[in-house]
Structure 1
Amino acid sequence: MIKVAVTGAAGRMGGRIITLVTEAEGLQVAGAVEAPGNPKLGEDAGLVAGCGQLGVAITDSLEQALSGADVLIDFTWPEVTLANLGVCKKLGKTMVVGTTGLTPEQRAVVEDAAGTIPVVFAPNMSVGVNLCFKLLKDMAATLGEAFDVEIVELHHNKKKDSPSGTAVRMGEIVADALDRDYNKVANYHREGMCGERTKEEIGMQTVRGGDIIGEHTVYFVGMGERIELTHRAMSRDMFARGAVRAAGWLAGKEPGLYDMQDVLGLK
């Protein structure tokens, strides 16, 4: 039995992860964490999540939550994730990181920790999105320089990072397939007399509004034809399901940095 601890246990995502862990074969909720001062501290994590009593109290001590756990599933904020990663590293626990918006420097910290413990780190835990990642690589390599690439992402009005981690990863995959440096060719802003579009640039446009869970479209625009690859998230459960699947997959793995492509066998 793989024992799982979950951060943000009183939140929407944490609650869904806890529920899905209870439904997954071979997994068990062993710890639940919330921020100091959260009104749900001390309450049963299962009752808060709505999946029935589990006998696991929500705590503000990650060390306590991990004392009986094998793996931590973390969907929080970059600074919190890095602090939690340090605790997992110290205690020798594996970790699934679903947090987005990490800077290159923060990603480097994750990579360093993965030299000691197994870590699954992915900008998007969705099975469908990760299949899109694989398709994008093949599409970009096949279409080549003859097609312009534009990426448009839509999310709810509460999302703090822009563009989304998923959109950035899509841009990185396309740029790599075309032998370009994403950081040099990504174009996040066009306004006024900005000149003609270059052949190398990858446009990245962001839309924020309402309660959109997440939508990503990559446009390959050629002369006389256009190809669009779109993924629409209909429920946050897809992220939670992917994270739970990753937690089960990590069992017995050697230290290293893995992603959902590894978990799904798409590499």
Structure 2
Amino acid sequence: MSSTAIGIIGSAGRMGQAIAQTIARRDDVTLAGGIDHGGNASSLAQTADVLVDFSSPEALEDTLDACVASGTPILIGTTGLQERHHYLIDDAAREIAIIQTGNTSLGVTMLAALVRDAAERLGDDWDIEILEMHHRHKVDAPSGTARLLGEAAAQGRQVDLDIVTEGGRTGITGPRKDGAIGFASLRGGSVAGDHRVIFAGPQERIELAHYAEDRGIFAKGAVRGALWLAGHAPGRFDMANVLGI
């Protein structure tokens, strides 16, 4: 059986280590190597069939340049990306296959599909609030997963998330804006990732939730996404493409 060689950008981080452990337990993939801050992305891209990136937004441009130069597809799980990073990803996706996602969990991917469907069908008189909690060391908020779920809700309503986002409420904020998608972030302990999407309608409420019990679920999803990418035609994709939803 031939195996796919996966290289890890951000190999010393929590996700990088979890992905390496997942690869070690499988016989259809091998570890092509890993780098961290200051490492040579070009060298790794040339030896790997596909890269997974869970490093930092600051490193993304150099990583994408290395992947385009070698024709290596990449799964980007790095969170905290800004608008300019998405432009860079769009440009690179003309040359290579890219998955960019705020969460590689297959369960979260399915949750996003349910959120999108619910937002589309319930109507604007249902308020949408997204609550997330992560471990005390997480540096960005709201989480990439919360943003992913917010994007799903916004797509269902056919609105721009950046325009309808409401967060950071404190003091006298006034009433909730009609059509807003609210975010709240909690930090503490060793929580791997809890996410709830609340649809609050007149006299009733729906809650869709996902609770990550172990970081390994993200690693398993990342490896599955990397295998899907290997040898794929250029384009920009997400985990929903991996599941075919």
Give the TM-score taking structure 2 as reference length: 0.94
Q: Report the AA paired with residue 72 of structure 2.
A: K
Following TM superposition, by how much is the alpha carbon of 1:137 offset from its aligned partner in structure 2, in angstroms? 1.0
Within 5 Å, which residues of 2 pair with 1:182-221? 182-221=161-200
Q: Which residue of 2 aligns with 1:3?
A: 5
Which consecutive residues of structure 1, in runs of 5 or more, have no partner in the other structure?
A: 37-59
Preserved contact between residue 180 and residue 200 of structure 1 (Cα < 8 Å): no
Q: 2-side partners of 1:115 and 1:7: how far apart? A: 21
Q: 2-side partners of 1:123 and 1:259: how far apart? A: 9
Segment of structure 1 superposing worse, 169-178 or 126-135: 169-178
Following TM superposition, by how much is the alpha carbon of 1:190 offset from its aligned partner in structure 2, in angstroms? 2.2
Q: Which residue of 1 aligns with 2:25?
A: 23
1:73 aligns with 2:75: no
Q: Report the AA paired with residue 9 of structure 1.
A: S
Q: 2-side partners of 1:114 and 1:99: how far apart? A: 16
Q: Which residue of 1 aligns with 2:133?
A: 154
Larger radius of gyration: 1
Preserved contact between residue 23 and residue 223 of structure 2 (Cα < 8 Å): yes
Aligned residues with identical type, % of pairs:
40
Within 5 Å, which residues of 2 pair with 1:1-267? 1-36=3-38, 60-266=39-245
Q: 1-side partners of 2:16 and 2:8: how far apart? A: 6
Preserved contact between residue 219 and residue 227 of structure 1 (Cα < 8 Å): yes
Following TM superposition, by how much is the alpha carbon of 1:28 offset from its aligned partner in structure 2, in angstroms? 1.4
Q: 2-side partners of 1:19 and 1:259: how far apart? A: 23
Q: Report the AA paired with residue 163 of structure 2.
A: K
Following TM superposition, by how much is the alpha carbon of 1:176 offset from its aligned partner in structure 2, in angstroms? 2.0
Preserved contact between residue 31 and residue 66 of structure 1 (Cα < 8 Å): no
- Secondary structure at 1:239 match in 2: helix
Q: 1-side partners of 2:110 and 2:127: how far apart? A: 22
Give the TM-score taking structure 1 as reference length: 0.86
Q: Report the AA paired with residue 156 of structure 2.
A: A
Preserved contact between residue 152 and residue 205 of structure 1 (Cα < 8 Å): yes
Q: 2-side partners of 1:10 and 1:197: how far apart? A: 42
Gap change, CA 1:179 and 1:64, over 3 Å in 2: closer
- Secondary structure at 2:231 match in 1: coil
Gap change, CA 1:67 and 1:172, over 3 Å in 2: closer
Following TM superposition, by how much is the alpha carbon of 1:172 offset from its aligned partner in structure 2, in angstroms? 1.7
Q: Deviations over 1:64-93 (max 9, x none)?
A: 333321111110000112221111111111
How many residue pairs align between the two structures? 243
Kindly report the root-mean-square deviation, in angstroms, between the aligned alpha carbons of the 2 structures.
1.5
Which consecutive residues of structure 2, in runs of 5 or more, have no partner in the other structure?
A: none
Q: Report the AA paired with residue 208 of structure 2.
A: L
Q: Deviations over 1:170-214 (max 9, x none)?
A: 112112212322111111132333222122111111111121111
Q: 2-side partners of 1:241 and 1:9: how far apart? A: 15
Q: Which residue of 2 aligns with 1:41?
A: none
Following TM superposition, by how much is the alpha carbon of 1:21 offset from its aligned partner in structure 2, in angstroms? 1.6
Preserved contact between residue 60 and residue 85 of structure 2 (Cα < 8 Å): no
Q: 2-side partners of 1:61 and 1:143: how far apart? A: 49
